[in-house]
Structure 1
Amino acid sequence: MADFAVLDPVTERVRQDFAALAEIRDPDTDGWTRTVFSEPYRASRDWVRRRMADAGLTVHADGAGNLVGVLPGRDPAAPALVTGSHTDTVAAGGRFDGVVGVLGSLEVVRQLAEHDLRLDRDLLVIDFLGEESNDYGLSCLGSRSLAGELTAEHLDRRDLHGVSLAERYRGFGLDPSEVLASAGRFARRGLHRYVELHIEQGPVLEDRGVSIGVVTAIAAIRRLVASFAGRPDHAGTRPMGDRADALVAAAEAVLAVRQEGCGAPVHGVATTSRIESEPGSPNVVPGLARMYAEMRSVDDGWLTEAQRRLAAEIGHRAADHGVTVDLTWSSDNERVSASPDVHEVIGRAADAVGVSWEPVPSGATHDAVHLARLCPMGMIFVPSRGGRSHCPDEWTDPADIAIGIRVHAATLLELDRLPDRAA
């Protein structure tokens, strides 16, 4: 594909960026921890702002807390090309999730300058605020805001300590009213295409010896809080056959969640992440318990039926133990497909770079879900060693990151040339 420009990143420069950002973390937790609204996250974003400026971008923080670096194009009136990802982490997370998309995009900007290449349209490189899920049951805070999908009701949600999301924004120096108003301002900017470089966070690419994954769709997520009400009794005197043990019912529900996930076709998963019980005394049969779980799939039909089956199974198992259960479901995001034209360009860019690629679904959610509400989007995956992610063992080889940056650069250059979408 001779019409594609192929730029080679300076791998050592990228490696140094990763090493420097990895130094900014919570020292009191394992792995790499920069959770949203934390002080390590605040410090890391100051670092990212400086690196954006060093790369030649004009940088500002928008009302939703996103860091936006602008590389001016020849036509400032043209809809902007957008890329980026996130630099927050889960607790005890890794060094590459999200970070590859931000630092990889900065290297593309440096390569454009060093090869004296200028895009026709502005390029926006965004470090989105708080992509990882949080105590409010929401992921992708920054991109959700820009897409107009963060609501006043969301801001009223409270964490386990009774602190509202609006209060957390204020504590981070952000005005909640500005967070809600950011969507309209961003939409007026006009967006051309969005592409995100990311680690796969799964084993498919490594297992198949493939260099690049071109994302077909991002899975829908359904989250569940199951509240079990039993009867507290003395643990030493109440006979085993005469108990209404809320925690036992919750444990049965954990197994039901796993069973549903194991029966999923093609791509579907189900996970329990937390159980709480009360009163928590060793000599009291638990009278209350809560289970937190989620299900994900790119197959909407399976997901809907699995949710129905799981609700029925949890109810039946709880009743067998004399326990009542209340199920509260929420949707973090619905299934979102990549845009065919962006998907095609990424595949042709990989061909131009001379590396193998194949289409893959994403079980993880991404900021791309919400940018898809604003413009056509696509994603580029690079392999994750052992498929590990959201843990300290998360690793992607620098050579694989470099390949991803080459494909990312070629993709952005080609997307810049695509005609604007019809109004």
Structure 2
Amino acid sequence: MDVELLEPDRERLWSHVHELAEFAEPDSAGWTRRLFSEPYRASREWVRAHMRDAGLEVFTDPAGNIVGRCPGRLGGPPLVTGSHTDTVAGGGRFDGVVGALGAVEVVRRLRETGTELDHDLLVVDFLGEEANPHSGTCLGSQAATGVLTADHLDLRDGKGARLGDALQGFGIDPGGMLRPSWAVTPLHGYVELHIEQGPTLRRRDVGIGVVTAIVGIERLLATFVGRADHAGTRRMGDRKDALVAAAKTVLAVERIGCTGPEAAVATCGTLDVEPAAENVVPGRAVLAAEFRSDDREWLSGVQRRVAGEIGRLAAENGVEALLDWTSDNDVVPTAASVQDLTANAADELGLPWLAMPSAAGHDAAHLAARCPTGMIFVPSHDGRSHCPEEWTEPDEIATGVHLLAATLLRMDQRSSVDAEFS
């Protein structure tokens, strides 16, 4: 099969990206389509219809993922591709969407060119990849791959509502999230197209990234407990100010991130203060932070370094610090075999490419435990993402979809993509 024939219909693909963007929360910035929102619910009906229109056999799995099946000639373990269509608050139009709709466009081109794969091809729109109010990310891919547990369903949001109850209210059986599905059966391989969400490709003037690894993510919820006092009468040297300890921790987290390896980052995202009045010494402060790196050694030492620094700062300010750590995922290398197939396909299409890690988390990190997995990046303008200014050129998206098709074709032609999973 001449892979040039699988070049996508660029105008159709660009139109579909913008059709999906019309589903957005009206009172939020950007193109906001969060898990459990009504626009997200409505958009999923659009996605199902879009898949059916492409000729896919569509079903919703017990984990709430929308799955479209393109039958192959021989059957056997299926190839899988896709991404997600939910967004963060104030998000953009391309994060996740490029991979999900790009995969459907690949199926359209297979049918339009009369190309049959040997393996079934599953196109997946994973449920709730972005962080949700109940903590955690990649809800659909974690459930599909058997990582989600009953404890996850008992997680509560800031108002005390259970994740399991929120799922049920959204029309998803929480018990079904714990049952085995297609992703725990043998899979031939998985490849995901995504915008980079960072500046590397644009700065290097390269149009394709072949992802070598997905960063590990450690998250911290630090609660500082001091003593609330009258801000006018309590002298500075006699205070137990929870906010001061938390503020110094913000700077400590920044220092730790700046002294890490090149791809290491550390971020404080929220800081809640009680009683939150300018005439009261803060008696309690809750800080949320996260640490990311593709360097396992650095990431494994983060908890010890951060805990030591927070302990010192808490003691200096006369407050107590309670630390709650969660691991979103470990560092996940992509399969060398899929990297090679993608790079070879890029060379065949005449596309310059760069081997690079992903600094963001993805559903691919969970599929990697089940089958040979790879990722393809296309550039993000100015490295912007998770904001309304997120932008990738239509030609860049189309190039990524073309490479996705060529990579899937090469994977399909292999009797086994990776011996480790044979």
TM-score normalised by L of structure 1: 0.97
Distance 2:301 2:143 in 1: 30
Partner of 2:91: 93
Superposed, which structure 2 residues align to 1:248-327 within 5 Å?
A: 248-327=244-323
Distance in 2, Cα, partners of 1:118 & 1:357: 28
Whether contact under 8 Å (2:146, 2:184) holds in the other structure is no
2:34 and 2:18 mapped to 1: Cα distance? 18
Task: Give the superposition deviation at 1:282.
Answer: 2.3
SS in structure 2 opposite 1:83? strand
- 1:28 is matched with 27
What CA distance in whole angstroms lies between the structure 1 residues aligned with 2:231 and 2:385?
A: 40
Look up the equivalent residue of 1:145 and give its one-letter code. Answer: A
Supply the AA of the counterpart residue of 1:265.
Answer: P
2:331 to 330, 335, 339: 335
Is 2:32 the partner of 1:43? Answer: no
Deviation per CA, 1:168-226: give whole Å up to 9, x if none: 11001111111110xx2324643100000000000000000001000000011000000
The equivalent residue for 1:418 is 414
Instruction: Name 1:63's counterpart in structure 2.
Output: 62
* Counterpart pick for 2:109 among 108, 111, 122: 111
**What is the rounded CA distance, in whole Å, between the counterparts of 2:404 and 2:5 in structure 1?**
10
Counterpart in the other structure of 1:238: 234
Q: Does the aligned pair in 1 maintain the 2:217–2:327 contact within 8 Å?
A: yes
Aligned partner of 2:363 in structure 1 is 367
The match for 2:219 is 223
The residue matched to 1:108 in structure 2 has which SS? Answer: helix
The alignment's C-alpha RMSD in Å is 1.2
State the one-letter code of the partner of 1:383.
Answer: P
Secondary structure in 1 aligned to 2:6?
Answer: coil
Give the secondary-structure state (helix, strand or coil) at the position aligned to 2:237: helix
C-alpha displacement at 1:408, in angstroms?
A: 0.6
| Structure 1 residues without counterparts, runs of 5 or longer | none
**Aligned partners of 2:227 and 2:239 also within 8 Å:** yes
Q: Tell me the alpha carbon deviations over residues 361-389 of structure 1, each in whole angstroms, 9 at most, x when there is no partner.
A: 01100000111111110000000000000
2:12 matched residue in structure 1? 13
1:86, 1:99 within 8 Å by CA — same for their partners in 2? yes
Q: 1:187 to 1:196 in 2, by over 3 A?
A: closer
- Measured in 2, the distance between the counterparts of 1:156 and 1:226 equals 21
Paired positions, count: 419
Unaligned runs of 5+ in 2: none
CA distance in 2, matches of 1:32, 1:233: 43
Distance 1:93 1:272 in 2: 19
Most deviating of 185-194 and 208-217: 185-194
User: Per-residue deviation at 1:283?
Assistant: 1.5
Closer, same or farther: CA 3–402 of 1 in aligned 2, 3 Å? closer
Residues 6 and 352, structure 1, Cα contact 8 Å, conserved in 2? no
Q: Aligned partners of 1:275 and 1:95: how far apart in 2?
A: 28
Q: Distance in 2 between matches of 1:80 and 1:139?
A: 25
Q: Secondary structure at the match of 1:191?
A: coil
Instruction: State the distance in 2 between where 1:145 and 1:121 align.
Output: 24
Offset at residue 324 of structure 1 (A): 1.3
Q: Deviations over 1:99-151 (max 9, x none)?
A: 00011111111111111101011000000000001112210000000111000
Q: C-alpha distance in 1, partners of 2:116/2:96?
A: 26
**Alpha-carbon deviation of 1:321?**
1.0
- Correspondence for 1:130: 128
Quote how far apart the aligned CAs of 1:314 are. 1.3
Whether 1:205 aligns to 2:201 is yes
- Residue 75 (structure 1) shift: 1.4
Looking at structure 2, the residues matched to 9 and 174 of structure 1 have their Cα atoms a distance apart, in angstroms, of 34
**Are 1:347 and 2:343 an aligned pair?**
yes
Paired with 1:176 and 1:126, the residues of 2 have a C-alpha distance of 19
In structure 2, distance between residues paired with 1:111 and 1:401: 15
| Alpha-carbon separation, structure 2, partners of 1:272 and 1:225 | 10
Q: Is the 8 A contact 1:80 1:189 kept in 2?
A: no
Q: Determine the structure 2 residue equivalent to 1:161.
A: 159
- Deviation digits for residues 210-258 of structure 1 (CA, Å, limit 9, x no counterpart): 0100000001100000000111100111111211110111000111111
Distance across 2 between alignment mates of 1:157 and 1:317:
30
Distance 1:8 1:185 in 2: 32
Aligned mates of 1:307, 1:360 — CA distance in 2: 26
Report the counterpart of residue 74 of structure 1 in structure 2: 73
Partner of 2:186: 190
Partner Cα distance (1:187, 1:68) in 2: 11
Give the alignment's TM-score, normalised by structure 2: 0.97
C-alpha displacement of 1:419: 1.1
Q: Which residue does the alignment assign to 1:179? A: 177
Q: State the shift of 1:311 in Å.
A: 1.2
Residue 6 of structure 1 deviates from its aligned partner by 5.1
| Per-residue Cα deviation, 1:337-357 (whole angstroms, up to 9, x for no partner) | 100111100001111111100
Q: Is the 8 A contact 2:5 2:113 kept in 1?
A: no
Aligned CA distance change for structure 1 residues 188 and 278 (closer, same or farther; 3 Å): closer
Deviation at 1:317, TM superposition (A): 1.2
Q: CA separation in 1, counterparts of 2:273 and 2:115?
A: 60
> Does the residue aligned with 2:301 lie in a helix, a strand or coil?
helix
Identity %: 56
